[in-house]
A = this chain, B = another copy of it.
C-alpha cells in the first residue's frame, strides 16, 4: 500500500491527485452553460472578465472585481434613508425567526460506555447569487444571507452583475451590507455560478450556492450540483387563496394580484366554497388590474394561470389546495386556524384576513424563498438547516462492543462482507483463540 509523506509542497497534490476518488457522473448539460463552466474552471478570473465584457458590457479586472467599502458607502448615499430604515426593521424580525430554527448538536450515552450523537457544523463558505436588472430585490438578499449567517457560516460570498459602468444596484449593496454578506463580486450569469463552484484567483470556492437567477443561472446551478450543494431551482411565483363567504373580496383580489404582478408565468388561484365570493373577487380583480402599474404582466398572468375554483364543501376545497401544494397559501375562512391544521402541502400558510402575502415577503420574519411548482409536497422554505450539515458520532467501549460483536459479525457474513466481520473479530481475536 502506498505511503506518502505530507509536506507543505505536496499538500495540494495530495488532495487533488493522490487522494483521488472515483469521479462522479454527470448527465450532459446545456452546451453553452457547460462551455462557460469549463472555461471559468480552466481560466478563472480571465474567463469571468471575458464573459462579463461580453454579456454585461463591463470591463472588469482584479482591481475592480470586488465591491469595495467605498462603493458600499456610496450606495448608502444613493438609497432612500426610509428604505434603509425598513430594511433594518425587517432584519430584526427575519433574524429573530431564523434564530429559532437553530439546532443543537446532541449526544446520548449509556453507562456501558456508548456515545451516539449528531454534531451540527455550519458550512464554511456559502455563495449567494443575486440577479441584476429589473429583478433586483433587496428583500431576497436579506432572505438568502440571514439564514446562512444565523447558521454560523463563516464567509458569505455574494455575486451580482454590474452595469456597463461596473456599478451594482445600490439597494442590493445596502441590503447585503445590512444582512452581513462578507464579500461581494460583480459577476452574474453562469460565469458567477462557475466561479463560486470552482473558485478563481479572486473568488473563493464555496460549499453551497443559493439564490434565484435566469435560465443560465439555473442550468449552471444544476450542472455544478454535486461539486457544491445548491438550493432548489425556483419556478414562477404562486398564490392560492382558500376563502369562504366570510372573506372580504377586495382583500382576496388584491392578494391574488400581488403574486400575479411578479411574472407573466405566475399563478394566482382562489378556491372558495362561495359562488358569490367567486363573482365578487372576479369583479375586484378586473377593477384593481386597471389601476395597477404592472397591469400588462398581471393581465397575462391572470389570463393564463389565474383561476377561481368553486368547491362544493370545505373539505373538497382543502383537498384541492393540498393537491396543488402552493408556494403561498392564504386562508380567509370562518375557522382559518382549524383549516390550517388540515393543510399538508404549502410553502407558507398565511392565516386570517390581515395576513396578506406581502407581509411574509418583506417583514414578518419567515423566509420568503419557498418551494414552487407543487414541490411543497416534499421541499421546505429556505432555512438555517440549509446552511449546516450533520455528522454522526459513534463511540463504543470495549465492553459495549464485546457484548454485541457476534451479532455484527453475523450480519456482515449474511451480506458476504467478510472483511467487515473481520474488522470486528480482530478486536477479540486473542480471547477467542
A396 within 8 A of B: yes
Q: Is the CB of B254 within 8 A of A349?
A: no
How many subunits of this chain does the assembly comprise?
2
Within 8 A of B (CB), among A287-305: 288, 292-294, 298, 302, 305
Q: Is the CB of B21 within 8 A of A364?
A: no
A73 within 8 A of B: no
Q: Is the CB of B343 within 8 A of A391?
A: yes
Separation of A314 and B67 alpha carbons in the complex (Å)? 38
Within 8 A of B (CB), among A193-241: 207-208, 215, 218-219, 222-223, 226, 228-229, 233, 235-236, 238
CB distance from A279 to the nearest CB of B (A): 7
Q: A4 contacts which of B14, B310, B412, B415 (Cβ < 8 Å)?
A: B310
Separation of A3 and B100 alpha carbons in the complex (Å)? 41
Known: A215-B25, A309-B4, A415-B139. Contact between A410 and B82, CB under 8 A?
Answer: yes
Using Cβ atoms and an 8 Å threshold, which residues of chain B touch A215? 25
Q: Is the CB of B123 within 8 A of A378?
A: yes
Q: Is the CB of A424 within 8 A of B358?
A: yes
Q: Is the CB of A389 within 8 A of B398?
A: no
From A36-44, A181-189, A380-388, the one touching the partner chain is: A380-388
Q: A373 contacts which of B21, B123, B278, B380 (Cβ < 8 Å)?
A: B21
Separation of A360 and B423 alpha carbons in the complex (Å)? 12
Q: Is the CB of B2 within 8 A of A412?
A: no
- Beyond A1-B307, A7-B312, A358-B408, 16 extra complex contacts between A and B, CB < 8 Å: A1-B282, A2-B307, A5-B309, A19-B309, A21-B265, A21-B305, A24-B373, A28-B30, A207-B377, A226-B233, A350-B394, A352-B396, A354-B397, A359-B424, A377-B389, A380-B391
Using Cβ atoms and an 8 Å threshold, which residues of chain B touch A345? 121, 389, 391
Known: A121-B344, A378-B228. Contact between A419 and B258, CB under 8 A?
Answer: yes
A 1-31 binary contact with B (CB < 8 Å = 1; else 0): 1111111000100110011111011011110
Q: Is the CB of B292 within 8 A of A116?
A: no
A 97-132 binary contact with B (CB < 8 Å = 1; else 0): 100110100101000001110110101100000000
Known: A6-B311, A282-B1, A311-B6. Contact between A404 and B363, CB under 8 A?
Answer: yes
Which one of A90, A258, A306 has the highest number of Cβ atoms from chain B below 10 Å of its Cβ?
A258
Known: A373-B24, A391-B346, A392-B367. Contact between A101 and B83, CB under 8 A?
Answer: no
Using Cβ atoms and an 8 Å threshold, which residues of chain B touch A82? 410
Separation of A307 and B394 alpha carbons in the complex (Å)? 24
Known: A20-B305, A378-B208. Contact between A359 and B1, CB under 8 A?
Answer: no
Q: Is the CB of A351 within 8 A of B393?
A: yes
From A45-53, A55-63, A157-165, A316-324, the one touching the partner chain is: A316-324
A376 within 8 A of B: yes
Using Cβ atoms and an 8 Å threshold, which residues of chain B touch A421? 358
**4 A-B pairs with the lowest CB-CB distances in the bound complex, closest first:** A366-B392, A22-B265, A229-B378, A261-B419
Using Cβ atoms and an 8 Å threshold, which residues of chain B touch A416? 134, 293-294
